[in-house]
Structure 1
C-alpha cells in the first residue's frame, strides 16, 4: 500500500501574507535570521501583529546550514515562551531550524511532565528552492556534516507562498535555489517511491523551472516568473516529501557540507552526472529511470528519437541552464580543494551511502560507484 499526503494548507498568490490577520488572541514566536530583520522583510509580519495587538516574540539567531547549537538555543527560547503559533520566515535554513526546534521542544517538555501541545506551525519561504514549507525533512549541521531528519511532526501546518518575499533575491541565489527545485523534482520523479501523484507534481515543476528560471534570473522584477518559481518550489516539496530523493542529494549533503558550497548549487553541479549514472545506458537492460528521463525530455520538446538521445537531451538542457546562470560545471570550478576531497574520499562516500536519500535512488550504488561518481563530478 502506498500513501500520498499533503498536510500543509497552502496560501499562495500575491498578498497571501494577509492570512496572518486571522491569528488573534495567540502567543506567537517568529523564527528568522538577522537579515530578515535588517532588510525589513520581517516588518510585514510584525506590522500585522502590532495592528491586531497580538503578543509576539522574535528569535533571530538562525545561521546558514543551521548548527545544532542554534537549534538548542531556539529550544530554550520556546521552553520559556511556550507560543501557541510559531512562524518560520526565511530560506531553508530558517524553516529547517524551526522544524527541529519545534520537534525537540515538544518532546523535551512532555518528557519532563510539562504538557505542551505542538504549536500551529506557519512557514513563509523567502527563497524559491527548498520546498521545506511543505515537507517532513529538516537538515541540521553537526560540525561539518549535514544530517537530514525526517519526521511527520515537522511538516508545517500552513505554508504562505507569497512571491513578494522573493522579488529582491539576487540573480545567483535565484539560479541556485531554482536548480535545487529542479533537482527535487527530477529525483522525486525517478525515485523508487514515485507514484502517479508525485509524478504529476514533478512534471509540472520541471516544466515551470525550464520555462521561468532564465526569465527570473535575467529580470528579478519579472513577478510572473518569480511567482511561478515560488509555486514550483512548493510543488517539488510536495513531490519529494512523499517520494523521497536520491543520491544527488546524498552527495550534495556531504560534499556541500564539507566544502561550504550552497546546497542548490551543489545539486546543480551534481545533477547531470547523476542522471547519466542512474540511466545506466551502458547496462544490458533499458532502465525505468532512463525511460522516465526520456518522458521529461519529450514533455520539454527535446529531441528523443531513442532512449539514448532522450537522456542525452535532458542532460544537455540542464547543462544549458547551468551555463546560462554561471553555475560551475564541476567541483573543481567550484573551487573545491581536490587534495582535501580525495584525502577524505572514504568518509565522504560513507556519509553519502548512509544518507536517507540513498535508499530511494533508482539505481543501488556501491561504495565504488559513489567514489567514481564523485571523482567524475570533481572533474578528475
Structure 2
C-alpha cells in the first residue's frame, strides 16, 4: 500500500505575503541571511505582520554548518517564539528546519508555527521533509530526513525572486529540473508524484530561460517558483537518486553551488540510468521509457525511446549552454587535483547517501567513479 499527502498549506502568486497578516500571536522569530536584511527584503515580511515583538536571527550562511544550527537553537531558546519564519534560499530554510526541529524536542515548543518563505526558485525546501547541514571540518553534508521538518505553511510570492541574479536563476532552475527528473524515475515514484514532476518539468523547460533572460518577467518568475514547489512535493514523496548523492559529496568537498553541480552531472546520470546499449529497442529500462516520455512532453523529437533519451540529454545541454553554465568541474573553477586521490572515498560516500537507494539503476563504486571522471573532463 502507498500513501500520498501534502502537509504545508501553500499560498502562491503575487500578494501571497498578505497571508502573514493573519499572524495574531505575540512573539515572531525570523531566520534569514544578512543579505535579506541589508537589501530590505525582510521589510516585505515585517510590514505584513501586526505583532511588534519581532526578532531576527540573520547569521545564515551558504551550506549551513552544525555550529550555526547550535547558535540558532540558543537564540530560539531565549525568545521562545509563537511563530518561526524561515526567509531565504535553501540554506536559510534548511537551517531553520534543523533549528526548529531540535528546539521543539529540547524546549517542548509544540505550539510554535513554522512558516517557510523561499526567495529562490530551486530547492523546494519549503515543502519537503529534508534538510542538509554541513560538517565543514570533515567536508561532509548530512541530509536530515523527518516529517517533523515540514513547515506548516509555505508562501510563494514571485515578487521576492524578481531580483535574483541570472546565474543564480540558472543554478536554482537546473536544481528544479534535476529534482523533477530524479523523482520521476525514482523506484518509489507513483502516479501522484509523476503528475507533479511532469508539470514541474513542462513549466521549467518553458519558463526557465525566460526568467534567466529577463528577471522582471513576473509570469516566468511565478511559473518557476511554482515549478520548484511542485518538484519539491514530487521528490519529497518519491525521493531522488545518484545525481543528488554525488552532488552532496562533491558539494561538501569542493564547495560548488548545489544546483550547478546537479546541472553538470545531469546529462551523464540520465545516460547512465537509461542504460541504452546498442541499437535494439527491446528490453529497455523503465527509466529510459520515462525519460522518453518527458522528451515528448516538452516537445522534443522522440520517435522512439533511444531518440527521446538522446534529445532529452541534448535539450538539457543546450539549456545549460544558453545560460552560460559550466559543463564540467574544471569550468566551474574546481582544482581537479583535489579529486585525484579522493575519488574512491567520494564514491563510497555517494553510495551511502540516502538518495542512492531510490535510484532506478543500482550503482557500483566503479559506476560512481566513472561518472565523476566524466564531469572532470
TM bracket (short chain): over 0.9
**Residue in 1 aligned with 2:350?**
352
**Residue in 2 aligned with 1:2?**
2
**Residue in 1 aligned with 2:301?**
303
Q: Is the 8 A contact 1:169 1:220 kept in 2?
A: yes
1:177-196 alignment to 2 at 5 Å? 177-196=172-191
Q: Following TM superposition, by how much is the alpha carbon of 1:74 offset from its aligned partner in structure 2, in angstroms?
A: 0.4
1:100 aligns with 2:98: yes
Instruction: Give the counterpart of 1:127 among 120, 131, 136.
Output: 120
TM-score w.r.t. the length of structure 2 is 0.97
**Residue in 1 aligned with 2:12?**
12
What value does the CA root-mean-square deviation take over the aligned residues?
Answer: 1.1
Greater displacement, 131-140 / 345-354: 345-354
**Residue in 1 aligned with 2:360?**
362
Structure 2 Cα separation of the partners of residues 46 and 302 of structure 1? 45
Q: Is the 8 A contact 2:17 2:48 kept in 1?
A: no
Instruction: Give the counterpart of 1:264 among 259, 264, 273.
Output: 259
Moved over 6 A (4+): none
Q: Over residues 172-191 of structure 1, what are the superposed CA-to-partner deviations in whole Å (9 max), with x where a residue is unaligned?
A: 10111000000000000000
Q: Over residues 187-226 of structure 1, what are the superposed CA-to-partner deviations in whole Å (9 max), with x where a residue is unaligned?
A: 0000011000000000011011110111111111111000
User: Structure 1: 5+ residue runs without aligned partners?
Assistant: 110-114
Instruction: Give the counterpart of 1:175 among 158, 166, 170.
Output: 170
1:325 aligns with 2:320: no
Structure 1 Cα separation of the partners of residues 184 and 77 of structure 2? 40
TM-score w.r.t. the length of structure 1 is 0.96
Structure 2 Cα separation of the partners of residues 162 and 301 of structure 1? 29
SS at match of 1:378: coil
Q: Over residues 246-273 of structure 1, what are the superposed CA-to-partner deviations in whole Å (9 max), with x where a residue is unaligned?
A: 0000011111221111111110110000
Q: Is the 8 A contact 2:114 2:151 kept in 1?
A: yes
Q: Following TM superposition, by how much is the alpha carbon of 1:54 offset from its aligned partner in structure 2, in angstroms?
A: 3.7
1:269-308 alignment to 2 at 5 Å? 269-282=264-277, 285-308=283-306
Q: Is the 8 A contact 2:169 2:212 kept in 1?
A: yes
Q: Over residues 126-161 of structure 1, what are the superposed CA-to-partner deviations in whole Å (9 max), with x where a residue is unaligned?
A: 000000000000001002211111110000110000
Q: Following TM superposition, by how much is the alpha carbon of 1:118 offset from its aligned partner in structure 2, in angstroms?
A: 5.1
**Residue in 2 aligned with 1:112?**
none
SS at match of 2:55: strand
Structure 1 Cα separation of the partners of residues 211 and 44 of structure 2? 23
Structure 2 Cα separation of the partners of residues 197 and 317 of structure 1? 25
Structure 1 Cα separation of the partners of residues 51 and 193 of structure 2? 41
User: How many positions carry a matched residue from both structures?
Assistant: 372
Structure 1 Cα separation of the partners of residues 291 and 341 of structure 2? 34
Structure 2 Cα separation of the partners of residues 335 and 312 of structure 1? 28
1:1-380 alignment to 2 at 5 Å? 1-49=1-49, 52-109=50-107, 115-117=108-110, 119-143=112-136, 144-282=139-277, 285-379=283-377
Q: Following TM superposition, by how much is the alpha carbon of 1:53 offset from its aligned partner in structure 2, in angstroms?
A: 3.5
Q: Over residues 288-313 of structure 1, what are the superposed CA-to-partner deviations in whole Å (9 max), with x where a residue is unaligned?
A: 00000000011112111221111001
Q: Following TM superposition, by how much is the alpha carbon of 1:347 offset from its aligned partner in structure 2, in angstroms?
A: 1.6
Q: Following TM superposition, by how much is the alpha carbon of 1:48 offset from its aligned partner in structure 2, in angstroms?
A: 2.5
Q: Following TM superposition, by how much is the alpha carbon of 1:106 offset from its aligned partner in structure 2, in angstroms?
A: 1.4
Q: Is the 8 A contact 1:59 1:77 kept in 2?
A: yes
